[in-house]
Amino acid sequence: MAKSISGHVIVCGYGLVGQKVVEVLVERNIRFIAIDTDPKKIELLRQLGIDAIEGDATHSKTLREASIETARAIAIVLDDDAKNLFSVLTARDINKKIFISARANDEFVREKLIEAGADYVVMPQRVASKEILKELTKGSV
């Protein structure tokens, strides 16, 4: 399916963060492939006309099926920090040049993701907290 694709983005995980990433990629007409372990999510993505692979992003076989060798970027946004870390290690091992963006829920894991080869790490809870605080403190200073 995805073997002839190149210059695309791979999105690992179609949870809350992954859904937002997919939404933006669709809006910007950027070619991508989504990966998730949940067959229901994969079916939904396919019904929406999105290339999707049912599989585990920590496995090199799954990443290769998504043509990671020719991808330009990968967003690793699983709900599990350990799986994100392992996926970063696997992705970097296969494609030394790919841009890796990853999600972390913990500062310690954030540092480990960078050590493992992630180029950019986001902590959704931290971003959300800052936005909430910004709104709460508007006009109070």
In the chain, the number of structural domains is 1
Q: How many residues does the chain have?
A: 141
Is residue 2 situated within a structural domain?
no
Pairing of strands 73-76, 52-54: unpaired
pLDDT at 140: 56
Is residue 47 situated within a structural domain?
yes
Q: What is the CATH number of the domain that holds 66?
A: 3.40.50.720
Q: Does an H or E element contain 35, and which? A: strand 32-36
State phi, psi for 68 to the nearest 5 degrees: -60, -30
Residues 58-114 have pLDDT tens digits of 999 999 999 999 999 999 999 999 999 999 999 999 999 999 999 998 888 999 999
Is residue 81 situated within a structural domain?
yes
Pairing of strands 9-12, 73-76: parallel
pLDDT at 129: 65
Is residue 1 situated within a structural domain?
no
Residue 105, SS3 per DSSP: coil
Range of 132's domain?
9-136
Is residue 4 situated within a structural domain?
no
